Amino acid sequence: MSLTEYERKRHFQRTREPAPGKPRGRAARPIFVVQLHHASHRHYDFRLQVGDALKSWAVPKGPSFDPSVKRLAAEVEDHPLDYAGFEGEIPEGEYGGGHVALFDRGLWSTRDDPVAQLAKGHLRFELFGDKLKGGWHLVRTQRGGRKPQWLLFKEEDAYADNKEADDMIDDLPAPTSGASARRATKAASKSVSKTASKTASKTASKTSARKSPGKTSASKTTRARRRDWSAIAGRVQGAKRATLSDAAFAPQLATLGQTPPTGEDWLHEAKWDGYRLLTVLRNGRARIWSRNALEWTAKVPEIAGALEAMAAARGIDHAALDGELIAGGGTQADFGVLQATLSGEKNAPLSYMLFDLVHLQDHELRKVAQRDRKQLLEQVLAGVAPPLGYSSHVQGHGEEAFAAAGKRELEGIISKRADAPYRAGRSDDWRKTKRLESDEFAVVGMTAPRGSRSGFGSLLLARPDGQGGWNYAGRVGTGFSQKLIEELSQSLGRKRGATPTAHLPDELDVDLRTAQWFAPQAVVEVFYRGIGNQGLLRQPSLKGVRPDKRAKDLLSSDRDPPTRGKNMASRKASKSPAADKKSTKVASKTTGNGASATKSSSRTKTRADATIEISNPGRVVYPDIGKTKQDVANYYDQVMDWLLPEIIGRPLSIIRCPQGSTRPCFFQKHLVAGMKHVDSVPLKEESGQVEDYLVVRDALAVRELVQFNVLEFHPWGAQARKPDSADRVVFDLDPAPDVPWSDVVAAARQMRGLLEQAGFVSYVRTTGGKGLHVVMPLKPACDWDLVKPFAHAFAESMAQMEPLKYLATASKKLRKGRIFIDYLRNGRGATSVASFSLRARPGAPVAMPLKWEELWRVKRGDAFTIESAVARIRKWKAHPWDGIDAVRQNLKKLRR
């Protein structure tokens, strides 16, 4: 959506600039790019990847490394990600005509949500490029104009200098002909003249005055440089002279224990829940490897840069360090943020917690005692700040250290013998003690026994899905006595069947395919060590059977859900404010997805009290009618029981408008940092890459999205648990501007009639835009490879029947006077706006479901608004699509 302006300004038959589309080479993490643009006015284009587009600013004089110099940055239209690789000539006469050269490119990060920061008008961020490094700021000014004006300036840090962008363009390809060449020559002569005028005194004063806040002060850096680290390392007992190899070294590993070791001979550190990384610094250059010797230097340029800056400030040429890469505080809940950041889904800052030093300058330290290595490492890292950190320890007091780790929600602790050397591989000198968590689960099946075991191999567990059903949670096969196995086999095996009674993950192992299943009945309590990728328990073991509880007790329980570990944010159940008001009504109401509405009610009634505070409630979102962010939140609260059945449990795309509906909005389908109540589901994309897609489970999640400035909700036509099967077909009747509304209504009625002739029932809604949606439910759901060809063929048949009225291609040239029958919303991953969703358009229109017989009374596709929609709904006795869930129809009959 944010690339509409970019596309409008360009003729892609005449320019080589990339057209909007699926990025061909998206980086794993968010990128930035700066391009030198010899247009009618020479300037630098500064671009930051936010979501699936490049937010862009024109900076006439280019970035300055001097923190006292604030450069004007005029916001321009978003650009596609592929523009990051564009260089060359834009033809004269075209928009932006002139030469484009790549000045710098790399990764960038920010501590908070970039969309929210941009909306507030102050983005703090770090760049990790070849030329541009360190902290920077973009601050919106109060100056008016067609496009917002910002100030771009450098943060006072180790990379601050008196350099200008023009001082670093010698290696850039220059235009060789035409107006671009003349402009470049003129600009170059100005740059040379300006450079010559700089005085030595100014340079000296800036250099001497500059510090590096958050790292080391100038005086500390001077003292650090004067330290003879070789002599310091040589005085430590066990150190020996050696040359540091420029290769990964084998790490020391810990052995799992049940309780922390006791005594003063042990050092206890936090067990960070991240990725183990090994670093070798040779001649001041950092190389970073994973535990299994895969190089990660390019994946974490901010860590490599910080290590090199630290080494340079302290006068260290060679070192080998051991540590853990983490996000946030390094807790289990943060591990998902770490993975999402490394995959490019999020943009959180990372930290490298260093806990060992095995080489310093020309001395190897492997045979140095653990306590002495830590003491030396602490000296080396004195005064460092993120992204580097020193992993401190306590000596003795293992139980207290373990308890403290639990309070911080860390995974556990690592205990190390104080006098032991650094030994590659797993040994008893390092011990890890993890926190055990436990929760109650319903037993929904059992696997066949193996070997000498009788009865069953393992019990299959489930947890409530929040909608009256169950999600598979994993299996438990340890912690049973033989007597208990016999008792459970006898009591549980009476009602065995072959059909699972819980929602299963997409990929099943052989045991699950051959398992025996039954309705949830018995309840067991299970220890586990976090939750893995598909919501399954990690290392579960039986704590005990709970004969005092039944499975249905878990459905109505007010307890917190299990703490999510890897790939899942920690969530606490909470009660929907909207559900409180209408819980009794929802239970008996039949809606456009009646079963889901009832289940939604049961979930919201069981949530613990919680609220989502709406920040900046008075900020105007719809300027033309004066509606605020609080008005938007109030609207969604009022229609919550009608909206939820449309979106709950489906992969979801959203449109966020942090600066209001009239300013650039963002299309998003993944979680961002800070979302605690919105769920996600891993789905494989066409590229083969697995991404976590947004999923709403309850009203609290919707309200949280509204807090994140969401205006529009666009669900898939499939459930998240069955993403490859469509349960709805949506035809979007999109008229050209000169098509009268009566023709759109006639088209919808004609489509309804043709579908009825084929034996299909359909429903209609306004889109909140120009047209109408004709919606055809499918039950049972059908594969996308059947649904999309059907939708395409049906649209084509209507276009052939009435070629002067309809077309089935998106060509704007052919659109005049006709209605585009958009069938493209019926592919895997495609979305269409949900009923009751607001639209980011003037007047705050709403997509509204209708009865066919009332369609003739509706005058426009945006006839219903934030105010009239609520008034309409209050009059309803039943949903206009009443009975849609009872319709059984599928496309397979067409093959007969």
- Residues classed as catalytic: 271
Which tokens in the block code for residue 622? 């719809």
Q: Which residues fall within 8 angstroms of residue 249, CB to CB, at 6 or more apart?
A: 278, 280, 320, 358, 424
What does the buried/exposed string (b/e) look like for 297-318 if buried means 16 or more CB atoms within 10 Å of the residue's CB?
bebbbbbbbbbebbbebbbbbb
Rg (CA), the chain: 31
Question: What's the Cα-to-Cα distance from 112 to each of 124, 674, 880, rounded to whole Å?
Answer: 9, 8, 42
H or E segment to which residue 621 belongs: strand 620-622
As beta bridge partners, residue 860 has none
Asked if 302 and 310 count as a contact pair (C-beta separation under 8 A), the reply is no
Which tokens in the block code for residue 440? 């109650």
Q: How many CA atoms lie within 13 A of 609 on its CB side?
A: 0
DSSP 770-811: SSEEEEEEEEEEEEHHHHHHHHHHHHHHHHHHSTTTEESS--
Q: Which residues fall within 8 angstroms of residue 764, CB to CB, at 6 or more apart?
A: 748, 752, 772, 773, 774, 775, 849, 850, 852, 855
E strands, 309-390, are: 319-327, 350-360, 363-364, 388-390
Bridge pairing between strands 266-271 and 133-140: unpaired
Reduced 3-state DSSP string for 527-579: EECCECCCCCECCCEEEEECCCCCHHHHHCCCCCCCCCCCCCCCCCCCECHHH
- DSSP 8-state assignment for residue 633: H
Asked if 306 and 383 count as a contact pair (C-beta separation under 8 A), the reply is no
Q: Tell which residue, 755, 733, 743, 753, has the closest CA to residue 832.
A: 733
E strands, 14-165, are: 31-38, 43-50, 53-59, 71-80, 88-90, 98-109, 122-129, 133-140, 149-154
Residue corresponding to tokens 């909005």: 665
Angle at which helix 699-707 crosses helix 577-588, to 10 degrees, equals 140
H or E segment to which residue 693 belongs: strand 690-695
Q: Tell which residue, 794, 649, 785, 636, has the closest CA to residue 716.
A: 649
